[in-house]
Structure 1
Amino acid sequence: MSFSTTSPPLARALAERSYDKPTPVQAAVLDDEAAGRDLLVSAQTGSGKTVAYGLAMASDLLGEAERFERAAAPLALIVAPTRELALQVHRELAWLYQHADGRVVACVGGMDPRREQRELAAGAHIVVGTPGRLCDHLRRGHLDTSELKVVVLDEADEMLNMGFREDMEFILESTPETRRSLLFSATFPRGIIALAKQYQQDAFRIEVAGDEGGHADIDYRAIRVAPGDVEHAVVNVLRFFEAPSALVFCNTREAVRHLQAALLERGFAVVALSGELTQNERTQALQSLRDGRSRVCVATDVAARGIDLPSLDLVIHADLPNDPEVMQHRSGRTGRAGRKGVSVLLVPPARRKRADMLLHLSGIDALWGTAPQADEIRKLDHERMLKDAVFEEEETPDDLALAQALLAERTPEQIAAALARLYRARLPSPEDIIDPGEVRSRTRDDRGRDHARDARGDDRSERLRSKPGKSSARHGMAEPSVWFRAAIGRRKNAEARWLLPMICRRGGIDKRDIGAIRISDTTTEFEISARVADSFAAKIQRPDKEDSIRIEPLPHAPQAEAPPEKRAHAPRREAGDVDRATRRDDRPRETARPKHRGKPDRDGGTKSTDDWAPRKKDKHRSKPGHTGPAVGVTAWSTKAAPGKKKKKRRG
């Protein structure tokens, strides 16, 4: 079936966009049985439903004419749940009706309402907007609905989920009873059925099966990941597919901010979309994706509604969606307009059952596997470099002259190696990823050996999962090492998980060459294998475009830092402090409380806090340099019964 049944100006616009065959939902709304009737349509995201209702209402708006008359009160009203979706619909209808001289006006939240008021006053044939902003214009008398012939509710189920039921009812009650209503929804929950019964008349119901809709071109993959490797899996999946544009979904704004920072630190061109951004910030982020300045977008579900990127070939679910409908909406951002797309779910072991349920309820047969490994990605990089378009471009005289100069100074092998380095320099480094199945079987088969290795600090994976503000679980290297210091610490939110890749990138080393990482308040000290220490020290002297953190070698290995609870009570002793109390006071000290708060040893001295933990019931400490009890201070006796206190005599 072709688009021959549409009006000539719309057929011309479709031909210019290479629309030669309608999608199933487009064919259904153009069927003779659906002509002129209210429609209740179930179609998935990416199935071409925007063009579908644009074609379906053409006969009501234009009739037999090929062009619109001068714009006045709007003839059609389209309601969409989010700003991005409304603006996308605005763009689609603008090109579809451009040869019919159609004027399309958008009214969405976050934009200047006075400008929208002026555009409505100037006249419009079609108005597209979000529920809240449209209701505001209706209440203020800026939107005239007396001439409406068609009302479209796009993604009506999502508007119900977002709490727009009262707004939708207010809009529908403000329209003429003779208007035609087209209701598009991914699913038909009870709320949608009730809305259709109340505001539609003899609606013609159309259901497009998921396999026949926009998801037929999506390749679903489920990847097993360890709980601490989700971030690394996102990096490797992005590097493995190297899609022109990719969308990564998280469930919370905080997760979006964290993942965006992690990807930026690794060298990805990434933007974020969440509900806390202003409309101007969201518009700029989407524009950077469309023009190629950014290649990755990290977003929440609500913020990503309506995103339509022509080159979006990859969707990653960093957090599993809450239900099958959300997963389909997410995945529907790719595989559009005949393009192939990939949807990847990252599944920790604890979420395996939920992932299976989501896939089963969605009727999706996903391919299960593990995350791409670093060796696989490097092999692909080699193949992509050999096929790079730069080798297909025609040489200019300047290029040939420079090539001759290079060959005169360097060997072909040196030039090729330099070209390979330049190619790799623009690519983020892949991450080492552990298969959660391997970890589970190893700990079950040889648990005792694993515990012994953990005690020695040999488990490198623990470094990647260290908590913010904590040092690495590894405290030494089996080989000779050299210590370095970075001028950043806890006060600037230093974390081992992003310090580690930064150190590798700055020094051109591998994670296996890094030992302990100790983070203090203002600095971070870390251990580098002596094998690569010289080259590391040379490379960190070069300026870095991505960060300005100063890194310098330490003259000697630092001492292990005492635990926080011990540091709080440890004495501050310097040279000459041993006899300070004796010089100040010659009174006998047989019963004096020792300066070091520990248990007495057999020689009559005290053991340091490194050997004994501080007594939990001590409530007071002596003044610095004073070895006896604080004068006039009531101390809790460690042998007294609970609730009672024993006073020591003054003097």
Structure 2
Amino acid sequence: MPFPVLSPPLLAALAERGYAEPTSVQNAVLQPETLGRDLLVSAQTGSGKTVAYGVAMAAEILGDLERLPPPGMPLALVVAPTRELAMQVQTELAWLYARAGGRVVVCVGGVDPVSERRALAQGAHIVVGTPGRLRDHLERGQLRPAAMKVVVLDEADEMLDLGFREDLEAILETTPSSRRTLLFSATVPRAIAALAKGYQRDAMRIAASGEGDQHGDIDYQALLIAPHEVERAVVNALRYYDSRSTLVFCTTRAAVNRLHANLVERGFAAVALSGELSQAERTRAMQGLRDGRARVCVATDVAARGIDLPDLALVIHAELPKDPETLLHRSGRTGRAGRKGISAMMVPHNRRRSAERLLLAARLKATWMPAPTAESIHAKDGERIVANAIGMLAEEPDAEDLALGKTLLEGRSPEALAALLVHVMRAPLPAPEELAGIDERPAPRDRDNAARPAAHQGPPQEAVEGIWFRMNLGRNQNADPRWVLPFLCRRGHVTREEIGRIRIMERETRFEVASYAAERFFHAAGRPGEDDAHITIEPAEPVRAAGPVAAAPPRRSPPTRGPRPQR
């Protein structure tokens, strides 16, 4: 279905950009009954809402004209939660109104306010900005609201989450009461409904088709992992899916910086986005993603709000979102404009119930699976290498290349040259990580409430000659035999058969290592990696059969061999 009636310059701009027909939200805001009314619109992220309110405001700022008058006091104001989103909105509205002679000015924090003041003094038809900077310009008299006919609040729920309620109210109270107010939000919680009631007049509620339904272009996946292997699992997900652009979410700036550093060290072209960066640094990071110099962006929720990357096919939640709205906003960075995307949540198995509750609250269904293994990544690499090589061979070689190829074949088999090509194509790829397997069966517990790994298959416990060790994680930090056993094997360079009894107590875990492997285990376990440096392991007294023992004080200089276990 083509766009409803619009002025010729807007229709020409839409056609030039390939908009043959409107999305559901664009069609909904252009129905005859919406004309001139305040609108409260909820729509999925990536549904084309910027163009939706761009065409919706045309009746007020353009009317039947084919060209806008010279720029003066702004006719429309768009408020967005972040600098990135505001600048993207400015770009979208600029091409939409270019043929009508529209001038769109952006005002955001982190940019020289003097240059913005000059731009406003030169006149504008539409002003786009962040709440704090717009309020500042209004209070200083640099942004004059008298001629404003439309005010748009974009991603209003995020602006309230970020604490901009006071700024938004100040902006709405400063602009003319006769204005038309368009409020766009991914969700409509109670706070948004209250804002709409207070600052809109008889607003028409529009729920674009699909609201409350799962985004059809996003494949939601929940990847079960061991709690200590989040970073390794992120590495494997990046390698397995091999997206041209990926957004990885962490909850804190410290986690962003750490994961970013580890990914760069492993050979990924990655950038970081967090609130501590200057606008210039953020702009450089985003430009690196857009021009392909970087393929991975590690970001906090605040820093990544409003990011729109055309080729973003993968979102990874390295840490679980705090609420369903955050999950939807994060995931909505992919699956945009009809493109397919994957939203992969890293779920430590001890937080599976939290993840299930989160998905239920967000009304999403996810496919549960283990994180990609090194073996599956090698298999994927093989498929991609073969496909790429076949594509390269389809090109006709020039005479010089053909001559060099014949020289290389002298005294060598075609198989050897093909193997060399595979080696060269595989060499730049970051190495996948070996992950501990997750056994989803419930682990049995013995008489003294100490867990025994279900997957452990070794000699009878009475036959184990072992040395007892202790680890500074217990039930208070979700220690569980399903990840403790593989962790001990990896950290201590031992096999499952060389680990005996495991006793998980409130604040520590005690476990037995075969006596012949104890010294090797102790030396290896004393050299932790970056992601498990907070876990300390040292020799301990044997566990008494009567029940769990209290945590013993840490030893500064542990012996290389502990006492023999209770038999």
**Counterpart Cα distance in 1 of 2:343 and 2:189:** 26
Matching residue of 2:454: 444
Matching residue of 1:359: 359
Provide the aligned length of Structure 1 versus Structure 2. 495
Instruction: Single out whichever of 394-403 and 364-373 deviates more from structure 2.
Output: 394-403
Gaps of 5+ in 1: 467-472, 482-489, 501-517, 519-562, 568-608, 614-651
**Counterpart Cα distance in 1 of 2:238 and 2:116:** 40
| RMSD, aligned α-carbons | 3.2
Per-residue CA deviation, residues 147-167 of structure 1 (Å, 9 max, x unaligned), is 111100011111112111111
**Counterpart Cα distance in 2 of 1:251 and 1:18:** 37
* Residues 319-398 of structure 1: pairs in structure 2 closer than 5 A: 319-388=319-388, 389-398=391-400
**Counterpart Cα distance in 2 of 1:370 and 1:474:** 28
Distance 1:456 1:380, change over 3 A: farther
Contact 2:467 2:515 in 1 (8 A): no
Letter in structure 2 aligned against 1:207: A
In the TM superposition, residue 464 of structure 1 has moved relative to its aligned partner by 5.3
Contact 2:385 2:426 in 1 (8 A): no
In the TM superposition, residue 414 of structure 1 has moved relative to its aligned partner by 2.4
Contact 2:467 2:561 in 1 (8 A): no
Letter in structure 2 aligned against 1:496: G
Say which SS state the counterpart of residue 110 (structure 1) adopts.
Answer: coil
In the TM superposition, residue 437 of structure 1 has moved relative to its aligned partner by 1.5
* Residues 153-164 of structure 1: pairs in structure 2 closer than 5 A: 153-164=153-164
* Residues 36-115 of structure 1: pairs in structure 2 closer than 5 A: 36-115=36-115
Distance 1:17 1:462, change over 3 A: farther
Contact 2:75 2:126 in 1 (8 A): yes
Tell me which structure has the larger Cα radius of gyration: 1
Matching residue of 1:400: 402
Contact 1:463 1:497 in 2 (8 A): no
Matching residue of 2:488: 462
Matching residue of 1:566: 557
Distance 1:114 1:409, change over 3 A: farther
Contact 1:37 1:204 in 2 (8 A): yes
In the TM superposition, residue 436 of structure 1 has moved relative to its aligned partner by 2.1
**Counterpart Cα distance in 2 of 1:242 and 1:211:** 30
Distance 1:173 1:411, change over 3 A: same
In the TM superposition, residue 236 of structure 1 has moved relative to its aligned partner by 1.2
Say which SS state the counterpart of residue 73 (structure 1) adopts.
Answer: coil
Say which SS state the counterpart of residue 400 (structure 1) adopts.
Answer: helix
Letter in structure 2 aligned against 1:241: Y
Contact 2:467 2:562 in 1 (8 A): no
Matching residue of 2:133: 133
Letter in structure 2 aligned against 1:181: T
Q: Residue 496 in 1 paired to residue 529 in 2?
A: yes
Instruction: Single out whichever of 183-192 and 123-132 deviates more from structure 2.
Output: 183-192
Identical amino acids, percent of aligned pairs = 57
Distance 1:37 1:499, change over 3 A: closer
Distance 1:362 1:322, change over 3 A: same
Residue 423 (structure 1) aligned to one of 422, 425, 436? 425
Matching residue of 2:223: 223
**Counterpart Cα distance in 1 of 2:328 and 2:561:** 59
Contact 2:465 2:514 in 1 (8 A): no
Q: Residue 413 in 1 paired to residue 439 in 2?
A: no
Matching residue of 1:632: none
In the TM superposition, residue 380 of structure 1 has moved relative to its aligned partner by 1.3
Matching residue of 2:169: 169
Q: TM-score, normalised by structure 2?
A: 0.81
Matching residue of 1:307: 307
Letter in structure 2 aligned against 1:434: A
Distance 1:138 1:430, change over 3 A: same
Letter in structure 1 aligned against 2:174: S
Letter in structure 2 aligned against 1:247: L
**Counterpart Cα distance in 2 of 1:39 and 1:499:** 51
Matching residue of 2:545: none
Distance 1:183 1:120, change over 3 A: same
Distance 1:411 1:299, change over 3 A: same
Say which SS state the counterpart of residue 268 (structure 1) adopts.
Answer: coil
Contact 1:214 1:335 in 2 (8 A): no
**Counterpart Cα distance in 1 of 2:429 and 2:98:** 42
**Counterpart Cα distance in 2 of 1:63 and 1:455:** 84
**Counterpart Cα distance in 2 of 1:309 and 1:35:** 32
In the TM superposition, residue 453 of structure 1 has moved relative to its aligned partner by 9.9
Instruction: Single out whichever of 70-79 and 427-436 deviates more from structure 2.
Output: 427-436
Contact 1:220 1:343 in 2 (8 A): yes
Answer 1 or 2: higher relative contact order, Cα 8 Å, separation at least 6.
2
In the TM superposition, residue 241 of structure 1 has moved relative to its aligned partner by 0.9
Contact 1:272 1:297 in 2 (8 A): yes
Per-residue CA deviation, residues 60-81 of structure 1 (Å, 9 max, x unaligned), is 1111111212111111100011
In the TM superposition, residue 213 of structure 1 has moved relative to its aligned partner by 7.5
**Counterpart Cα distance in 1 of 2:211 and 2:386:** 37
**Counterpart Cα distance in 2 of 1:406 and 1:460:** 47
Matching residue of 1:277: 277
